[in-house]
Chain A
Amino acid sequence: MYTVKIENVSKSYRKFQALHHIDLQIEKGLYGLLGPNGAGKSTLMNIISTILTWDEGRISVYGYDLKKDSHKVRELLGYLPQHFQAPGQFTGEEFLHYVASMKGMNNRQKRTIEVQRLLEQVNLTEHTHKKIKGYSGGMKRRLGIAQALIGQPKLIILDEPTAGLDPSERIRFRNVMERLGKEYTIILSTHILSDIETSCEHVGVINKGELLYQGETEKLASLAEGTVWEISVPISHYDEVEQAYTVLSSRREQEQMVFHVLSKAEPKHRATCVKPTLEDGYMALINGVIT
């Protein structure tokens, strides 16, 4: 059962068309949205979050029409914008209280319990009474995640939630998401593929406003089957390889450079075909090596 259905959605900012006829179906669970900078991820997320309007197409969320029943959608929604800024004069706790009240939780006691729960969830209990302007970047980000999760929203949209988080916080975040993903629909965008690789069952890839792929995460990797090659050349040939192929990675082994490159056809250099990772699949897609 799809919880979010996006049919033929286009969006332009004045003359610039940011989304071209996007069709996307999302189920309960974690959904990863991938794409290079400027691809249109935030635009799409802002649309689903009721912030932006769009030009054509239909979107429904848990059966509600996003255009007509946006207030119903807001009741289900938790959203973390890419550039989250909270009024710095609040403490973390006060801010979450404020958000909770604006999300319709008018009972102060219940709100307190909810706020406490979320502060724990994002590991900010220690900083409950600290003014937000004194928070570090990662702490602010976590507070942003907390505000999105207030009120147990059924649809959680997180725009680059892990940007600025240290590794242990990222793991913590991933665990929380995996738990929530069992019940709710979570859409998250990121540039860190490992965030998605382990936890998201499904991904969508957007580039230049067009949807290039949607489906299971594993399949995205296998799409690149047969296009990822390992080349080993002397260090002196470095530039030559760089120019000839899309390089996915490189490492040095004594006097040799070992490259992973993308190529539809077998490279001229001595190469072995290797099993692609998620990242390889993504790169192959973005670079038009596969369609």
Chain B
Amino acid sequence: MKQLKNNFQYEWLLLIRNKFLAIPIVINIIAWVYVLYEKSLLGSGTTVENQFYTYFIWILLLNLFLIGIIAVYIVNRDRDSKFEQLAMTYQVKNWQWLTGKWLIAQVYGQILTVLTVMIQIIWFFTAPMTAAEVLKQSIYTFAQMGGAFLIIVSFGFLCAVLIPNIFSYLAIPALIIVSVFLPFDYTGMALEFDNPRLHLLTPFDFMFVGKPYEGIWGIERVFQSTLIHQMAVIVIAILVFAFILFIFKRNRRSKGEKQLLLALLSITTAMAIVISFIRFTDYNQGFKQYVETGNFYIDTLLSDYKRGTEEEYYEDINKYYDEMQDDEHYDFSIEISDLDILLKEDHQLEATNQLTIKNNGEEAADEVLLTLNHQLNITACHSERELSCSADGDFITLTLAQPIQPNEEFEMKLTYGGEILQYFDEGSGESAFIDKRRVFLPKSAGWYPLIGKRTLFQVLEDEQLYVKFQIRNTRLVEDFPTQYNVSLQSEGVEVPLLMSIPKTENGKFTGTTKHGLELIGGNMVEQEVAGIRVISHPQLQESMSSIVNKYHQAWAGLKEWFDLDLMPKTIAVLPNNQYYNQVQNMTEDFYLLNEDTVYGEGIEEYIVNDLYLQVLRSGIPHPETFSDGGSSEEADFYDRIIFDELFNWSIYYQMEKESFTKYNTDQDWGTKYDQKIERIKEMEKQGDEYLLAFTRYLYDASNKLGNSKEFNIERLADAFEKEMKE
């Protein structure tokens, strides 16, 4: 040990005297200074965690490369100078010689880890965060970076020992690329040649899409599995090093050394297998469930799909993406839903639901359908009316002894419970969960009974993907509103809980809506901005207040100029990637904003796009939804473009009061477009309000005329101007 200490000390001297080894530290400092500068550019519109973890992955990768190279260098240096050969004539033992160097490389790597963690801690303390939170985040960073460096040093040594020439340096980037290539631009859709399970073979836990940080849920989801992953990494790092000692200068190795190494090798191998297995099963069960979900719903879209022409195929794809098709009319409604729900840690829920169901149709019926996720089990089904309940998949069929007449109502009571954990992105994310510090039950999880036979997930067969399907949640908007009275209790959940309907008293929520219920729990606060309830991460409170004000202006404008009442009662700011797929909830009751996109410059343009999408989603006909024809029966392409631009400008105008000409600069569609736009600019001389009025006129015309040839801007402008003069 004393020998090792000496070796370490002298290696340390060499390390600190080598000017080149200061370079990585300088690079790190420059990188962080740049990040902080960038941060001030972006303004503080987002959480510090969000920013930190965005850059962290890059800095981690950069350092991984640098540390790997340094590890190779530390071995190569003495071999190339032949000093190693000389040292091999001394009594120093193989393990002492190599371990001294290995420890030095490790210390070097951990200096960078500590530097990063220190920057993180200081940065995080600038935000209102508790010490416990900061500690947890820094443990995460330390485990990720520290473990990654530990293992890259071991592999660096392995390369240097196995490849006794300059090519050992090339092995480092090669290794890093091989290991992180597959998960790197991981979108949650691994292609055919890929296997998401292989994404576990990385020097740091890469089981997330984009970044590990999930807004109001922080790093809670990844924390534990990352620690296990990194434990495995550490053990494997030691295992690899023991292997290096085992193969290094075998003729020089003493018997005792050999036996010790064999013991170390067997212990670390056993540990590595056990810990890796735990990590693997941890991920694999999520992945398996994701695949099961896909297979469970795969018929939903393709039941009428005949493997036929290309046309049919595209029709299906369009059907998959067109969430409007999720709405199926059903004559029955749930008038009142009294929901008593108990949430338990580990994704368990127990519920009792008192339902008042009404027949809004014109015919009597003796069968009523409900939808409830098949993950949940019905334990009781009662009614004063004589009925029988039967569940098949997500669907519950109530068969009544006496048919219900039109406008008749009846009451019933359902008791159900079970595990609601759901995964998205091939198990690298969770879309429905109940945990100690994070809860999310979106409507699309099917966690409470919905009226009718509703498809909870749409699945598209996709041969190019590893899992052979794509999956998305569905829109699920009811035909009739329901009055919900929710009584919410929880066990072991430590964070505040909120719902898409307002809270009346502690644990009680009441509201009437067609858009159903969503339940969120996490590190969040509630505030009211311009009459809209806003739920967000505490750090986003300030920036959200200005952003929601802008949204409010835009929504108010839509109401004023187009009679479109799209303003939501509640806005929740959730992280990116939190949805099964592309159906984002943007309803008048509950509007979800993506945390990643709500900060930075160009928020107004973002709002324009967002609201435009909302307009389309609310089912209002719009040029965008017209088919791409080009036949003489259809409206001119440029007319449609110009109307689009006018409409978007009118939303933008509510916030920025900028003229159309200014908004419309830099559009280059050619001469035909320029001629048509001249007419608009001519009208603009009458004032912005005049142009807004014309846009409204076009909007009405578009609703009436659709995409027919009649929708001709010049002709409509003539008519409008004539009307105005009168």
Contact = CB atoms under 8 A, between A and B. Distances in A.
A87 B74 CA distance: 12
B87 interface: yes
A71 B82 contact: no
A204 B255 CA distance: 36
The 3 closest A-B pairs by CB, nearest first: A102-B92, A101-B6, A89-B17
B667 interface: no
Nearest to B2: A106
A50 B96 CA distance: 18
B17 A74 contact: no
12 contacts: A51-B85, A51-B88, A74-B90, A84-B86, A90-B14, A98-B7, A101-B6, A101-B7, A101-B10, A102-B90, A102-B92, A104-B92
A98 B13 CA distance: 11
Nearest to B88: A51
B3 interface: yes
Interface string B5-28: 011001001100110000000000
B16 to A, nearest CB: 9
Nearest to B77: A87
B89 interface: yes
Interface stretch (A4-12, A75-83, A255-263): A75-83
B212 to A, nearest CB: 40
B251 A90 contact: no
Contacts of A51: 85, 88-89
Given A101-B6, A106-B6, A87 B89 contact: no
A98 B85 contact: no
Given A70-B251, A89-B14, A99-B90, A83 B6 contact: no
B91 interface: yes
Contact of A79 (B89, B91, B251): B89
Contacts of B193: none
A124 B694 CA distance: 96
B89 A77 contact: yes
A56 to B, nearest CB: 16
A74 B82 contact: no
Contact of A74 (B6, B10, B14, B89): B89
A83 B81 CA distance: 9
A87 B87 contact: no
Interface string A105-121: 01000000000000000
Contact of B14 (A81, A87, A104): A87
B542 interface: no
Contact of B251 (A53, A86, A94): A53
Given A81-B82, A85-B82, A106-B3, A90 B90 contact: no
Interface of B: 2-3, 6-7, 10, 13-14, 17-18, 77-78, 81-83, 85-92, 96-97, 251-252, 254
A62 to B, nearest CB: 15
Contact of A103 (B7, B18, B91, B254): B91
A185 interface: no
A87 B6 contact: no
A232 interface: no
A208 B91 CA distance: 32
B83 A74 contact: no
B85 A81 contact: yes
A170 B92 CA distance: 31
Nearest to B16: A89
Contact of A81 (B10, B18, B86, B252): B86
A104 B85 contact: no
Contacts of B2: 106
A90 B17 CA distance: 9
Contacts of A97: 10
A101 B89 contact: no
Contacts of B254: 71
A151 to B, nearest CB: 9
A49 B86 CA distance: 9
Contacts of A50: 88-89, 252
B8 to A, nearest CB: 11
B13 A102 contact: no
A75 B91 contact: yes
Interface string A47-73: 001110100000000000000001100
A147 B82 CA distance: 14
Contacts of A83: 82
Contact of B6 (A75, A98, A147): A98
B82 to A, nearest CB: 6
A268 to B, nearest CB: 51
A140 to B, nearest CB: 12
Contacts of B97: 102
Contacts of B77: 87
B108 to A, nearest CB: 15
Contacts of A102: 3, 6-7, 87, 90-92, 96-97
Given A85-B83, A102-B90, A104-B92, 15 more contacts: A71-B91, A71-B254, A77-B89, A84-B82, A87-B78, A87-B83, A94-B13, A98-B7, A101-B6, A102-B7, A102-B87, A102-B92, A103-B92, A104-B3, A106-B6
B407 to A, nearest CB: 93
Contact of A86 (B83, B88, B89, B96): B83
Contacts of A89: 13-14, 17-18
A209 to B, nearest CB: 21
A70 B18 CA distance: 34
- By CB atoms of chain A within 10 A, which of B17, B85, B91, B252 has the most? B91
A87 B84 CA distance: 10
A192 B3 CA distance: 39
Nearest to B6: A101
Nearest to B253: A71
A90 B91 contact: no
Nearest to A99: B90
A70 B81 contact: no
A77 B96 CA distance: 19
